[in-house]
Amino acid sequence: MIHQYQNNGYSIVLDVNSGAVHVVDELCYAAIAQLAAGEEPDLAALEKPETLEKLQAALGDRYESGQIREAWEDIKELTREGRLFTRDVFEPMIDQVKQRKTVVKALCLHIAHDCNLACKYCFAEEGEYHGRRALMSYEVGKKALDFLIASSGNRRNLEVDFFGGEPLMNWQVVKDLVAYGRQQEKLHDKHFRFTVTTNGVLLNDEIQEFINQEMDNVVLSLDGRREVNDAMRPFRNGKGSYDLIVPKFQKLADSRNQERYYVRGTFTRNNLDFSNDVLHFADLGFKQMSIEPVVGDESDPYAIREEDIPKICEEYDRLAKLMIEREREGEGFNFFHFMIDLEGGPCVSKRLSGCGSGTEYLAVTPWGDLYPCHQFVGREEFLMGNVDEGITHPEIADEFRGCSVYSKEKCRSCFAKFYCSGGCMANAYNFHGTIHEAYDIGCEMQRKRVECAIMMKAALADASDEA
Amino acid sequence: MKHVKTLNTQTLTNTMKKGGCGECQTSCQSACKTSCTVGNQTCEQKK
């Protein structure tokens, strides 16, 4: 299975099943398109002299015969090496993946179901998650960490994200749980990677110091330009949060040497020109950033609609080109959704098993209930157990374990399937009422992002060749 | 090759041999929280 596209002057061929990415010239691009029309050829078919004759007939009016032969030779060589027209050898592995024994390796601790902002798009409903305001107690948090250690098998690196609502509203418990985790990791030969996601309102020097000492990553919520941020992220009294938060985030990012953090925003249909918000982050001095499409009900006025997709794709194209320019000027920065590691990315086993929600990754409510992930919290049909009894509904874990790119019909023919691994199951459930579906608007954006990310690799490889 | 420049040497098929240790980061713990981003995670063995 291949995917061909042209972007920013590059002709790109992605061989989906091997993950090989080829930048080709116009002739080779046309030849591959010709060969891939209908059923994709295998090596035996490619090597037949009549294949060359067909290419000569189709392309002879535009290209010299000798060049067409050269392109044909290149295509055969790539195919022989398993880098083009590769067959899917992974589907037979899927039963193994479904039946694999999983361990819990990550928890999203809802340390506070309360928030000091009133963001209009909040899937947590200002921190309350379809429920009541609550703070996690130290006791519940301790049991959660004990549950994680006990459920993690031989897995050494364990991840705990302090999430909310706003976790800084329950900061003493965060600090106490980190201390407890550090004590327990020595006893059990584990290593905790703590992270925190915060809106920054309560951030101060003391908290910053603790974060820098203990947190592997910190996610700083901010939407971009002042007017964009303040329209969606006001305080409960309606006042904007930008002016209070931005200087604190800048200071924190600098204090971490611009590493191991993300300033993370949400775009909605109110700011479809979100590339300007990304650039605004860069102009504020941030180097690690993410701006993601809003998740909301279709009836929400700010929700992304099908008709917004062309504009969003244009924005991703614009952003990719601007990022290449900035990189060449020595002012580069990372945009989370364009990060792609073509050499050292995840193994195929990871790509087949998806995000891990409901199996390797669970969310814990302030009162200790377990859900497949933070986005399912409060949906009672997904209540999996609690920190006292552990998993009491293993059938929910089984359902999530069985969800993969091969259980979703739409994913089978999608070129991006090994990059998103079937997409966000919460989004699928929100839009289709089942996790075995795909959120179509999200898929279109994902495909565009993968195309842009690969194009950027091509452009930057060009730049390094020139250097 | 005159008509092709390949950007990567590693293939997904190669990762079948040694993959699956499970030590890598869970995707939603990195930054996203609202979308699935498995493809941009890093393999723990190659760090």
Per-residue b/e over A380-404, b at no fewer than 16 CB within 10 Å? eebbbbbbeeebeeeebbebbbbbb
Quick one: which of A425, A452, A420 has its CA closest to A438?
A425
**pLDDT at residue number A447:** 97
Could you say which residues from 419 to 458 on chain A have a Cβ atom under 8 Å away from some Cβ of chain B?
A: 419-425, 427, 442, 446, 450, 453-454, 457-458
Residue A70 to residue B2, Cβ atoms within 8 A:
yes
Q: Which of A354-358, A370-374, B40-44 has the lowest mean pLDDT?
A: B40-44
Q: What percent of chain A is modeled with pLDDT above 70? A: 100
Whether A193 and chain B come into contact, CB under 8 Å, resolves to yes
Closest-CA residue in chain B for A263?
Answer: B31
**pLDDT at residue number A297:** 82
Q: What is the pTM of this model?
A: 0.95
ipTM of this complex prediction, to 2 decimal places = 0.91
In tens, the pLDDT along A341-361 reads 898 788 888 888 888 999 999
Q: Is the dihedral of CA A190, A196, A202, A208 positive or negative?
A: positive
**pLDDT at residue number A95:** 83
* Separation in Å, CA of A356 to nearest CA in chain B: 7
* A99 has a pLDDT exceeding 90: no
Q: Mutation test of the interface with chain A: which of B2, B6, B47, choosing the one with the most A Cβ atoms within 10 A?
A: B6
In tens, the pLDDT along B3-36 reads 999 999 888 888 887 777 888 888 776 667 777 6
Residue B38 to residue A354, Cβ atoms within 8 A:
yes
* B37 has a pLDDT exceeding 80: no
Cβ count within 10 A of residue A411: 21
Segment A456-461 shows an average pLDDT of 95
Cβ-contact A460, A324 below 8 angstroms: yes
Apex A209 CA angle, A205 and A212, nearest 5: 135
Whether A145 and chain B come into contact, CB under 8 Å, resolves to no
**pLDDT at residue number A332:** 97
Q: According to the 3-state scheme, what is the secondary structure of chain A? A: CEEEEEECCEEEEEECCCCEEEEECHHHHHHHHHHHCCCCCCHHHHHCHHHHHHHHHHHCCCCCHHHHHHHHHHHHHHHHCCCCCCCCCCHHHHHHHHHCCCCCCEEEEEEEECCCECCCCCCCCCCCCCCCCEECCHHHHHHHHHHHHHHCCCCCEEEEEEEECCHHHHHHHHHHHHHHHHHHHHHHCCEEEEEEEECCCCCCHHHHHHHHHHEEEEEEECCCCHHHHHHHCEECCCCECHHHHHHHHHHHHHHCCCCCEEEEEEECHHHCCCHHHHHHHHHCCCCEEEEEECCCCCCCCCCCCHHHHHHHHHHHHHHHHHHHHHHHCCCCCEEHHHCCCCCCCCCHHHHHHCCCECCCEEEECCCCEEECCHHHCCCHHHCCEECCCEECCHHHHHHHHCCCCCCCHHHHCCCCHHHHCCCCHHHHHHHHCCCCCCCHHHHHHHHHHHHHHHHHHHHHHHHHHHC
Cβ-contact A277, A225 below 8 angstroms: yes
**pLDDT at residue number A327:** 96
**pLDDT at residue number A129:** 74
**pLDDT at residue number B13:** 85
**pLDDT at residue number B47:** 61
Could you say which residues from 373 to 402 on chain A have a Cβ atom under 8 Å away from some Cβ of chain B?
A: 373-375
CA atoms within a 13 Å half-sphere pointing along the CA-CB vector of B22: 19
**Residues of A with Cβ-Cβ distance to B11 under 8 angstroms:** 18-20, 82-83, 86
Separation of alpha carbons A409 and A441, rounded Å? 16
* A82 has a pLDDT exceeding 70: yes
Whether A297 and chain B come into contact, CB under 8 Å, resolves to no
Cβ-contact A411, A417 below 8 angstroms: yes
Segment A317-338 shows an average pLDDT of 96
Which band of pLDDT confidence, cut at 50, 70 and 90, is reported for residue A43? very high
In tens, the pLDDT along A167-207 reads 999 999 999 999 999 999 999 999 999 999 999 999 999 99
Residue B24 to residue A78, Cβ atoms within 8 A:
no
**pLDDT at residue number A428:** 92
**Residues of A with Cβ-Cβ distance to B24 under 8 angstroms:** 346, 350
Closest-CA residue in chain B for A424?
Answer: B36
- The residue with greater pLDDT, B10 or A327, is A327
CB nearest A340 (choices: B5, B19, B39): B39
Residue whose pair of structure tokens reads 């090994």 in the numeric block: A418
The per-residue pLDDT of chain A, averaged, comes to 94
Which band of pLDDT confidence, cut at 50, 70 and 90, is reported for residue B44? confident
